[in-house]
Structure 1
């Protein structure tokens, strides 16, 4: 098949050359196990003969930009809008994309019923790329997104995918380590945790960091953790359960600032002084929340603006056709010390 030097092969060309549908060609190039060996071999041979690579889709977008980028939050709308950190992420995305000359299109993906709508919109040529936040490990959306001819960058873990994706994440386990070590230095020895939902990788890493740091200090973490749902009421209920089971606890690492606000309410209701009786450390350092608590919250600082900045930079590189290898960029977190610990 003869092509001019300026004429670049498309996925449709590969599909036609291989004698398969466009969707089959896409799935074959993405390593879908449901594609037959015969079809996969035909597609790979066609791609090689035509000089096609998956990055070609990103290159072709350079000449037909929409000027819009989707920001997809794959969580229930009520949870997103009730979470100060997610709101900070949305604001940071708006500002960073505006600075890059792109219009932000905000999308909520509230469960499986929304998946088809989300995928159809993203594949419909309405946007140049997408920034996706899909924290739940069982979420099927990230795997489905890999089949699209669209540059995608994930903020935090991409569901249960670990390869072939572009991810910008925070060092959650190190944040937990910093929290526990701070509590240990202040003399605390019965250090509990209010963990986030364990279907989210960030929450898993924070719990693991807490457990590993206690164990390294020769302290037994058994019975000192309670899981909650990253909400204020969830944090309050989890803290109440911990106080009932471990009345002599003297420190607690809470896996989000919003849950820490609930934990402080539970401690106050139980007559516990903070930090006199129990020191409390959160995670997020949301400026409108952590500093206004009573007492002001010591917490781990993660910067949503920095995360989004790295995500947009990666997306722009993909749109420019640069040879960016899939990778997980891990951003550091730091301790902001206030009065609660």
Structure 2
């Protein structure tokens, strides 16, 4: 009898037992007991109750504070081709790195490219033993399941594509309002057949800019779905989308384009089909990228504070890592219409 009692008391509950009893992952249980702030209150309570119920005693090794790596993963949800071809990413990364360096953090750049069966190998690096936090850039809907597997603080550069974006911190530009500025300018200059080359349907920037375009037209002459074509924010996709639009609706007299890079492709398509800009067709882009000043004619565009979006997102992440902020916060920065000769 005495021996049996001794053996039972020697079987101490483990951290895995606590995680199982609390209904959370082992990593989450570890984060709660290490004092990380980036845990939902209800989750923290579940772990604390499991610890008390099981009588778990943590075996600490030296330090009580969680180990820091000093690294932040800047995770771009695109392939390398788009990352290095689109000037938007250089501007975002400049803003991010400026703020991280000031806070004595270093960044590592990852691309989130699926290989087989829709799996993302980069997810394995977005863990507490590798990085202190993650910035998600250019997220698509297919990345939403992977987002839930990250066990360190996360901030979206742009609103995350998921059913519950307010569960995450993010910084975005006013894509909806910026599109409305473009449409109202075109209407105000007498354009009556306004089309759009919209962005991807699985990205919030594409969805919000299309919604802003639609809502602004609904407030004026009405929205015609036949005047919408989609691209993927790359130059060639803008050219191909414009050619489809012009073939379908040759009477178009204005095109709002959801990125400046696609707008360069739209200008090519208009030149190929013998249309003058802005005499026959006015064109407005989105981003105010440096290329907008060098097109022929120079491109009217919606300016968004790209560098500041990156910098603000980095500041939010550092605050979460340091524990100076515990709640999820969202910020949407203003856009503006930059007038040039194309519209």
The normalised TM-score by structure 1 is 0.82
2:55 aligned residue: none
1:256 aligned residue: 259
Specify which of 295, 298, 308 is matched with residue 293 of structure 1: 295
2:147 aligned residue: 142
Residue deviations 1:247-289, cap 9 Å, x none?
A: 11111100000100000000011111111111100001112x1
322-331 or 13-22: which moved more? 13-22
2:25 aligned residue: 24
Contact 2:29 2:47 in 1 (8 A): no
> Which residues of structure 1 form unaligned runs of 5+?
1-11, 31-40, 52-59
135-144 or 265-274: which moved more? 135-144
CA gap of 1:28–1:126, structure 2 versus 1, over 3 A, is closer
1:314 aligned residue: 316
1:47 aligned residue: 48
Task: Output aligned runs, 1:1-341, within 5 Å.
Answer: 15-17=16-18, 20=21, 24=25, 44-48=45-49, 64-111=67-114, 117-123=121-127, 125-139=129-143, 140-145=145-150, 148=151, 150-160=152-162, 161-287=164-290, 289-341=291-343
Output the CA distance in 2 between the equivalents of 1:179 and 1:256. Answer: 12
Contact 1:195 1:227 in 2 (8 A): yes
Output the CA distance in 1 between the equivalents of 2:223 and 2:111. Answer: 41
The DSSP-based 3-state class of the residue aligned with 1:153 is strand
Output the CA distance in 2 between the equivalents of 1:307 and 1:85. Answer: 11
278-287 or 211-220: which moved more? 211-220
Output the CA distance in 2 between the equivalents of 1:42 and 1:96. Answer: 31
Contact 1:62 1:319 in 2 (8 A): no
Aligned pair count reads 308
Residue deviations 1:125-181, cap 9 Å, x none?
A: 232212111421222322222xx1x11111112231423211111111111100000
Deviation, structure 1 residue 108: 0.8
Output the CA distance in 2 between the equivalents of 1:83 and 1:50. Answer: 50
CA gap of 1:220–1:21, structure 2 versus 1, over 3 A, is closer
> Which residues of structure 2 form unaligned runs of 5+?
1-12, 32-41, 53-62
Contact 1:154 1:166 in 2 (8 A): yes
Output the CA distance in 1 between the equivalents of 2:282 and 2:43. Answer: 63
The DSSP-based 3-state class of the residue aligned with 2:289 is coil
Superposed structure 1 runs of 4+ greater than 6 Å apart: 27-30, 60-63
Contact 1:97 1:104 in 2 (8 A): yes
**RMSD of the TM alignment (CA)?**
2.9
Contact 1:29 1:44 in 2 (8 A): no
Deviation, structure 1 residue 240: 0.9
Contact 1:155 1:307 in 2 (8 A): yes
The DSSP-based 3-state class of the residue aligned with 1:203 is helix
Output the CA distance in 2 between the equivalents of 1:259 and 1:231. Answer: 6
Output the CA distance in 2 between the equivalents of 1:206 and 1:29. Answer: 41
The normalised TM-score by structure 2 is 0.81
Contact 2:78 2:138 in 1 (8 A): yes
Deviation, structure 1 residue 24: 3.2
CA gap of 1:15–1:235, structure 2 versus 1, over 3 A, is same
CA gap of 1:24–1:100, structure 2 versus 1, over 3 A, is closer
Residue deviations 1:299-335, cap 9 Å, x none?
A: 1111221111211221121122124321321111111
Residue deviations 1:31-88, cap 9 Å, x none?
A: xxxxxxxxxx99854424769xxxxxxxx99763322211111112212222111222
